[in-house]
Structure 1
Amino acid sequence: MIIIVTIVLGFFVYIAYRLSFLTAGGAIASWLVGLFVWVSFQIEGIVLLCLFFITSSLLSKFKKKKKMKLKTIEDESKGREAGQVFANGGVAFIASAGHLIVPHPFWIGLLVASLAEATADTWASEIGVLSRRKPFHLLRLRQVESGISGAVSIPGSIAALTGAFVMGVAGTEFLFDHWWPLSILFTTAGFFGNIVDTFLGGSVQVAYRCPICKIETETTIHCNHPTKQIKGYEWLTNNVVNFLSSLAAGVLGGVAVLWM
């Protein structure tokens, strides 16, 4: 069975790579995370993971040309890299490994809530940047350019709550036998993780300024020139913040399962 699973996953990540949803490194990382999730949580777990990946990938292509006009947005035209895959799916990988070693409902809660946060964050990012009004930075208390970490918009917040809800309900249906009170807790945990992501992104996450266009960005190269660090810690990149936020949501979801 494991051989069939390995081949099937390999086929799907290859298709994702060919469609430019993933880079080569991202495809390998996705295959590894998917394999662990499938072995640990069976078909229900992989369906949940695919729900996150497919919806997020499709949203990344939605009005892509308009998004790429925003100078603060990093170009992902070649697909998600390995670091981005582990940033959003790393906690799912940990939950799978933990459940294989010591099977326990806590790991299932960790999986569902972490994916609820990853979905909330991704949907918020992909939809929020399309807002007609500039987002409001929660720490600077003023409007800023779209795509700057720490800022929120009404469409982005609605998308975040919707994403957390969809994943929370799906996780409850697939892995907890329709125990609906947990779907509310998973939704709350996912949205909470998204808030953590917003505050970490706006405070301690590293950011740079382009010497050419003077825009704030998360990349070290902009307008074909090296950028200058203006805040945060160099090691605390967007990927690290995404991982920590999904971990916070996942732990909250795991505790909720124990509490229930």
Structure 2
Amino acid sequence: MENQMVQVLIAVLISSFIAINSYRKNSLDVSGAIAGFFVMAVHLSVNYRFGAMLLAFFFTSSKLTKMGEDRKRSVDAEFKAGGQRNWYWIQVFSNSGIATILVLAFWKLKSSQDICLDSRESYIITSVVGGIIGHYACSNGDTWSSELGVLSDEQPRLITTFKVVRRGTNGGITKVGLQAAVAAGAVIGLAFVLPGIFIKTCTNDVFSKQLLVIPLSAFAGLAGSLIDSLLGATLQYSGFCSVRNKVVSKAGPTVKRISGLGILDNNGVNVISILLTSMLTSFVCLYIF
């Protein structure tokens, strides 16, 4: 009990520092900072490895968002100087809400105990942890793909037709973006595996299998990015505004439609792609481990 209280205290201190610092640097607005504090504190309080995956996603995504500001400003209608891209509470929860629910489910089942992925010991726990890994692999993969893909010299192609489209079009993919999604997923896998080496002892046969989380999360990063792009190309509106000279996500008198139906916004696309990727990774985890 004492160790658990210490872990909660550490989680609150770390989460407070990061939330306040992110607000000061304009990575989050006030509501985003409050939501981020809550989500981060829950992850770190339950399991340091869950917190490590969340922090790997948050910090790498924040850094990449600020890369190539001039180029992104010219194509992204929602880009803001300094990298603050409308990260309100709803954006925070759309990118971490499902994982937070799974983290709380893990806490209910195992308290704050760490585990080795092993379906022979528990199908449910292995499935839950697999879902959390898939969640952040998808979130990170989609973000890296978008942020680095738009900076490449290659013209994006719409995932549904493979026709060349303007940069910033929802559902547009590039080779650089897909490679970035794989790398982003692998980073999440590393964030899960490396702390586990120091805080959890597994039997030899189970320990060697834990390393498979890295290629699994790399696959989840790519899969999540592709699912996100498919949803963006079909259910999210993209059009070119002749006045702003940019791709926008809402129809208007000066906007010529490129693709999509306008059924989902970016948050909706994120939630569904994360949910599907989490489910897929969860099932694969049961097969591998």
**1:186 aligned to 202, 210, 217, which one?**
217
**Whole-angstrom distance in 2 between the partners of 1:100 and 1:12:** 23
**Whole-angstrom distance in 2 between the partners of 1:219 and 1:9:** 35
Q: Could you list the per-position Cα deviations for residues 50-92 of structure 1 after superposition, in whole angstroms to 9, with x for gaps in the alignment?
A: 111111101111111221111x441244452222212221222
TM-score by length of 1: 0.87
Deviates more, 1:145-154 or 1:247-256: 247-256
In structure 2, the gaps of 5 or more residues are 111-124, 201-206
Query: Where do 1:205-216 residues align within 5 Å?
Result: 205-210=236-241, 212-213=243-244, 215-216=246-247
Q: 1:174 to 1:91 in 2, by over 3 A?
A: farther
**2:93 aligned to 75, 86, 91, which one?**
86
Q: Could you list the per-position Cα deviations for residues 204-238 of structure 1 after superposition, in whole angstroms to 9, with x for gaps in the alignment?
A: 123455363464312579xxx9968874244x111
Corresponding residue for residue 36 of structure 1: 42
Task: Give 1:74's aligned amino acid.
Answer: E
Query: Where do 1:104-253 residues align within 5 Å?
Result: 104-175=125-196, 179-210=210-241, 212-213=243-244, 215-218=246-249, 231-234=260-263, 236-253=264-281
Q: 1:52 to 1:147 in 2, by over 3 A?
A: same
Q: 1:219 to 1:22 in 2, by over 3 A?
A: farther
Superposed structure 1 runs of 4+ greater than 4 Å apart? 175-178, 225-230
Is the radius of gyration larger for structure 1 or structure 2?
2
Secondary structure of residue in 2 paired with 1:216: strand
Corresponding residue for residue 60 of structure 1: 65
**Whole-angstrom distance in 1 between the partners of 2:260 and 2:219:** 30
Secondary structure of residue in 1 paired with 2:212: helix
Q: 1:20 to 1:213 in 2, by over 3 A?
A: closer
User: Percent of aligned pairs with the same residue?
Assistant: 27
Q: Cα distance, 1:165 vs. partner? A: 1.5
Question: Does the CA-based 8 Å contact 1:113-1:187 persist in structure 2?
Answer: no
